[in-house]
Structure formats: structure tokens, C-alpha cells
């Protein structure tokens, strides 16, 4: 089990489908990079953990964290993630700026394909979550 995860708001994404499109557009083979101003102090504990994405005040998906790298041009940090976006069981999470550490005990499990929730259109899943039905 990973020591630690982080959460981040998917700014400008109003659905899981929009987040998928963004990840696909930034894909570099089997990985994708996002930029953050500062390297997390606990970066070593995050490698092997996941970045959990917040869309509309809900944790909706995660990507495994591969590592961290400093960008030469502006000294910002690249967070290298798996290009695979894994849907998780929807869980309420207040929006925040930047990223926040997320204890593995508080992280939602991956959404099970057996229950069919991952096959729901994102707007239907969002409405059912809003009504606290899923």
C-alpha cells in the first residue's frame, strides 16, 4: 500500500469525460505530466501513490504517480503520472488550490466495473451522486 496520495482540482473540467480528454491531449506514451509550482516535501512517499482528481467537489478518478522532476525553464515541478485514468467511487471533497496530501485510509476505492457505475454517462453519475444515491 502506498504511503501517501495527493488530491488536486481538475480546473476547467466539468466532467470525468472532460478530464479524460485533457489527459489524452497531454499523453506522452504511457505517462503524462502536470506542472506545480513547488515540489511536495513528501515527494518520495508519493511515488507509487496516486493523484486523485476533484471534479465538481467530488473525487472522481486517480492516476498513479511515477515521479517528480524539476523543469529547467522556470524551476517548476513536473509530476509524472500514469496516462491511465482510473475512475474511483465518487466521494465528496472540498475544492482547494494546488494539491493536498491524502491519507490512503481516506482515499476512495476504484469504481468496480461489476456494478455498472463506470458505464453510466458522466452527467447521470454526477446527478445520482448529487442525490447521494451513489
**Tens-place pLDDT, residues 63-77:** 999 999 999 999 999
Number of domains in the chain: 1
The band of 129, judged by pLDDT with boundaries at 50, 70 and 90, is confident
> Grid coordinates in use for 124?
447521470
Pick the residue with more confidence: 115 or 93? 93
Backbone angles phi, psi at 16, to 5 degrees: -65, -35
3-state SS of the chain is CCCCEEEEECCCCCCHHHHHHHHHHHEECCEEEEEECCCCCCHHHHCCCEEEEEECCEEEEEEEEEEEEECCCCCCEEEEEECCCEEEEEEECCCCCCEEEECHHHCCCECCHHHCHHHCCHHHHHHHHHCCCC
pLDDT of residue 131: 74
Q: Indicate whether 46 pLDDT > 60.
A: yes
pLDDT of residue 3: 83
Residues 6+ apart with CB under 8 A from 27: 83
CA nearest neighbour of 99 among 39, 29, 57, 25: 39
Greatest alpha-carbon span in the chain: 47
Rounded average pLDDT over 21-28? 96
Q: Indicate whether 101 pLDDT > 70.
A: yes
Q: What is the chain's mean pLDDT, rounded? A: 89
CA nearest neighbour of 62 among 76, 79, 77: 79
pLDDT of residue 17: 94
Q: How far is residue 28 from each of residues 65, 70, 81, 84, measured CA to CA in Å?
A: 14, 17, 10, 11
Q: Which residue range(s) make up the domain with 55?
A: 5-130
Amino acid at each position: 500500500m502506498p504511503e501517501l496520495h495527493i488530491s488536486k482540482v481538475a480546473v476547467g473540467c466539468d466532467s470525468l469525460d472532460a478530464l479524460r480528454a485533457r489527459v489524452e491531449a497531454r499523453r506522452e506514451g504511457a505517462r503524462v505530466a502536470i506542472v506545480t509550482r513547488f515540489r511536495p516535501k513528501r515527494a518520495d512517499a508519493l511515488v507509487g501513490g496516486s493523484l486523485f482528481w476533484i471534479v465538481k467537489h467530488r473525487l472522481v478518478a486517480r492516476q498513479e504517480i511515477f515521479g517528480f522532476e524539476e523543469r529547467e525553464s522556470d524551476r517548476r515541478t513536473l509530476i509524472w503520472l500514469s496516462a491511465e485514468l482510473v475512475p474511483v467511487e465518487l466521494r465528496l471533497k472540498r475544492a482547494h488550490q494546488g494539491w493536498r496530501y491524502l491519507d490512503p485510509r481516506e482515499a476512495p476505492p476504484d469504481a468496480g466495473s461489476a456494478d455498472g457505475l463506470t458505464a453510466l454517462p458522466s452527467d447521470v453519475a454526477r446527478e445520482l451522486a448529487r442525490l447521494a444515491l451513489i
